[in-house]
Amino acid sequence: MGGVSDALGANFVTAQLDKVVNWARRSSVFPMSFGLACCAIEMMATTMPRHDLARFGMEAFRASPRQADLMIVAGRVSQKMAPILRQIYDQMTEPKWVISMGACASTSGVFNNYALVQGVDQIVPVDVYVPGCPPRPEMLIDGIMVLHERIMRGEYDAGRNTDDVWVPSPYADQAEGTVHA
């Protein structure tokens, strides 16, 4: 599951070391500042004293993708922004995670049109979806808690597995377009 037992083979030493590594990764997730719209305001509010992301070691929003390992896509992603978002995601160092914050980033919400990417999971693998328009800071922290659980389980490449791809429901005509891994 984790990085150490993948590299050195799974035994009782690497399994315990994985737990320590995952705990360290969980405790200092550095987010990318990728605010695209109004969700970014709530993302900023989450770092403010009232909600204080520093409690989870996340207060440093990095402007450089090389220093970040979590991309919080906060806001609507336009077709023009999509290749830039993908490029910045590729520039981030492994292991990396993506939180799709709000209705626009997740499915484009009310903006069902040609100008916007219908869900950021069409261009990057998303680990946690946070609903809301925009989500209040507690909702984002709740999403971060879900992400922490995933990191503790060592699922840092979960979104890229082909078995983890979103499968259209029987009412696919009501739902969104196709999703790539």
Partner 1 sequence: MALPEILTGMKVVIRNVFRKKDTVSYPEVRRQPFPRFRGRHVLDRHEDGLEKCIGCELCAGVCPADAILVVGAENTPEARFSPGERYAQIYQINYLRCIFCGLCVEACPTEALLMSTEYEISGISRDGLIFTKDQLIVDAPIERHWKTKKVVEPGSRLEGVTGGPQNRADSKKKVIEP
Where does this chain bind partner 1 (CB under 8 A)? Answer: 49-52, 55, 103, 106-107, 109-110, 112, 119, 121, 127-133, 135-139, 141-143, 145-146, 150, 158, 164, 166-167, 169, 171, 174-176, 179
* Residue 20 vs 110, nearer CB to partner 1: 110
- For 78, list phi and psi in degrees, rounded to 5: -80, 165
Min dist CB 135 to partner 1, Å, is 8
User: Which of 115, 106, 151, 98 shows the shortest CA–CA distance to 133?
Assistant: 106
Nearer to partner 1, 30 or 166 (CB): 166
CB of 131 to partner 1, least distance (A): 4
Nearer to partner 1, 68 or 101 (CB): 101
Judged by beta carbon, residue 12 or residue 171, the one nearer partner 1 is 171
Taking the complex as a whole, the smallest distance from the CB of residue 33 to partner 1 amounts, in Å, to 20
At closest approach, how far in Å is the CB of 151 from partner 1? 12
Cβ of residue 80: shortest distance to partner 1, in angstroms?
23
Measured from the CB atom, the residue of 80 and 136 that comes closer to partner 1 is 136
